[in-house]
Amino acid sequence: MADRRSDSGSTGEHDKAGVFRRGGTPGRPDQFEKLYRSRESEQASAGGPRRLPKAGEVPPVRRTPRKRSTHSAGREYDGRGIERRAKERRRKRVSTIVTSTLVVLLVVLIGVPTAFYLWANSRLQHVEALLDYDERPDRQDGTTYLIVGSDSREGLDDDQVRDLATGRAEGRRTDSIMLLYIPDDGEPTIISVPRDSYVPLAIPGYADNKINASFADAVCGTDEEGEEICGGPAPLVETFERASGVRVDHYVEIGMGGFVDLVDAVGGVELCPEEPMVDPKAGLDIEAGCQEMDGGTALGYVRTRATPRADLDRIQRQREFFSALVQKASDPSTLFNPVRAIPLVTAGTDTFMVDEGDRLRHLATIMLALRGGTETTSIPVGSTPTLDGVGSVVLWDEELSGQMFAAIQEGEPIPESVLRE
C-alpha cells in the first residue's frame, strides 16, 4: 500500500508535529483565508496590524500605595478602608440615636398611658348590678347607662358631714337616677327618672311603690327559695327594666363624697341658677346668675328641694350639673393637664361603683359621647297624686313614655314630641 506522505507536491512539512497546512497555490490565500482574513482596507483604517511593543518600549507603571483615584474624579478611597469604616460607624451612631428616640417616644406615648390606664382601671369598685332574670329584655340597638347618685355618707368624716350639711342618715338611697341613652345614629340623651316614680318593685313581697325604694338597703323581702333580697343596684336595675322594657347595658353609681371630690378635681363647674337659693338643710346659700361652684356648693345645688316644684326642679338641676361636669372633665384643658387629669382619675376611680363587666373605658365613653352635644329630658309625667301609705308619687304618661321607651328599644333617636324640660 502506497504511503500517502510520498505524494507529489508534498513539502514534507506535514511530518512536523503539531503543524497543519492546507493545500493551494503558494503565496496566494486559499478559500478559508479569504473568508476570515481582514481586508487590507480594514487594516489600513484601523492603523495597520496590531503588534505588541518591545520590552524596552513599555512605559513604567506608577504605583500609588495609599490612594487611588476612581472613575469619578471627585471621590478618593483609602486603600485600607479607614474612611469607609468611619462612615459606617457614623451611620450606626445615627441609627442607634434614632432607634433609641423612637423607643423612648413609644414608651412615653404608649407605655406610660397604658400603665396609667391599667392602674386606674384596677381602682374601680365593682358590684353585681346587671343580673339575668326571667323575661329580661333582649339586647337592643344603641347603648344605655343607668347612672345613680347615692346619698350614702360613706367616706365622709365628721367635718365634711357638718360642712356639707348631709346629716348622718344610715343606709343608702338614691338622690338621682338618670338614664344615658346613646343611639347608633344621633345625639346622646340624658333622661331623668323621677325617684318617686310609682312602679312595680323587683323585691319579693312588695307591690307597686316608689322606684327609689328598690335601691334602699332597708327594704328587704324573701324569695320563693327562702333567700332574703334587699334593695340595691341589681333590684333597682330590674325594677327599671321591667317598668320600661328598656335593657340597661352599663351601671354607674357615685356617692356624696365622690361627688364633691370629682367636682373639686376639675376645678369646679359653672352653673346658672335663675334666682337666689337658700336651703340650710342642703348647706346652700347662693345668688342668681352663672357662677363657678365648688364640690360642696354644687352638691347642695343638686340636692335642695327648696323650690316651687321640689323634686321636679331638682331633676332639672341634676341634668344641668351632669352636663356641666362632663363638659369640664372632657375639656382638653383638663384632660391634657396632669395637675387636673390625675386628681380627676384618682377621685373618679375612688368613688365610682360600676357593674362587674364594666371597665374604665366605659366611663370614658360617657365623656366622649357627651362632648359633641347632649339632649336632656325626663320621662314624661302624667300626674303626681298622693297615695295612702306611700305618699306623693309620680305617674308616668303612658302614651308619651311608651313612645320614648319604644324609640330606645329600637335604637332610634327619641322623638322631639316626647322631650320634656
CA distance 336 to 330: 10
How many residues make up the chain in this entry? 421
The better pLDDT of the pair 46, 131 is held by: 131
This prediction has a pTM of 0.67
- Write the pLDDT tens digit of every residue in 51-60: 666 656 656 6
CA distance 104 to 146: 41
Strand extents, DSSP E, 201-296: 208-210, 220-222, 228-230, 250-254, 269-271, 277-279, 284-286, 291-293
CA distance 421 to 26: 129
- Write the pLDDT tens digit of every residue in 229-282: 888 999 999 999 999 999 999 999 887 667 788 888 888 889 998 889 888 877
Lowest mean pLDDT among 152-166, 169-183, 389-403: 152-166
Please name the fold of domain 127-418.
Aminopeptidase (3.40.630)
Statement: residue 66 has pLDDT above 60: no
pLDDT, residue 40, reads: 52
- Write the pLDDT tens digit of every residue in 257-271: 677 888 888 888 899
Residue 101: all three cell numbers together: 428616640
pLDDT, residue 264, reads: 85
pLDDT, residue 154, reads: 55
pLDDT, residue 8, reads: 47
The percent of residues above 70 in pLDDT, for the chain, comes to 71
Statement: residue 190 has pLDDT above 60: yes
Statement: residue 309 has pLDDT above 60: yes
Residues whose CB is less than 8 angstroms from the CB of residue 131 and which lie 6 or more positions away in sequence, other chains included = 234, 237, 238
How far CA 5 is from CA of 9, 12, 55, in Å, comes to 10, 8, 42
Statement: residue 406 has pLDDT above 90: yes
Q: Beta-carbon neighbour count of residue 75 at 10 Å? A: 8
pLDDT band for 2, please (50, 70, 90 cuts): very low
Q: How far is CA 196 from the centre of its chain?
A: 37
Lowest mean pLDDT among 14-18, 291-295, 387-391: 14-18
**What average pLDDT does range 326-334 have in this prediction?**
80
Residue 9: all three cell numbers together: 507536491
CA distance 353 to 130: 13
pLDDT, residue 218, reads: 83
CA distance 349 to 125: 8
pLDDT band for 399, please (50, 70, 90 cuts): very high
pLDDT, residue 348, reads: 72
3 state SS of 197: strand
Instruction: Tell me what the pLDDT averaged over the chain comes to.
Output: 77
Look up residue 101 and give its amino acid.
Answer: T
3 state SS of 318: helix
3 state SS of 198: strand
Statement: residue 159 has pLDDT above 60: no
**What average pLDDT does range 314-339 have in this prediction?**
81
Q: Are 142 and 183 in contact (CB under 8 A)?
A: yes
**Strand (E) or helix (H) holding 123:** helix 112-123
Statement: residue 307 has pLDDT above 50: yes
pLDDT, residue 131, reads: 93
pLDDT, residue 25, reads: 59
pLDDT, residue 175, reads: 75
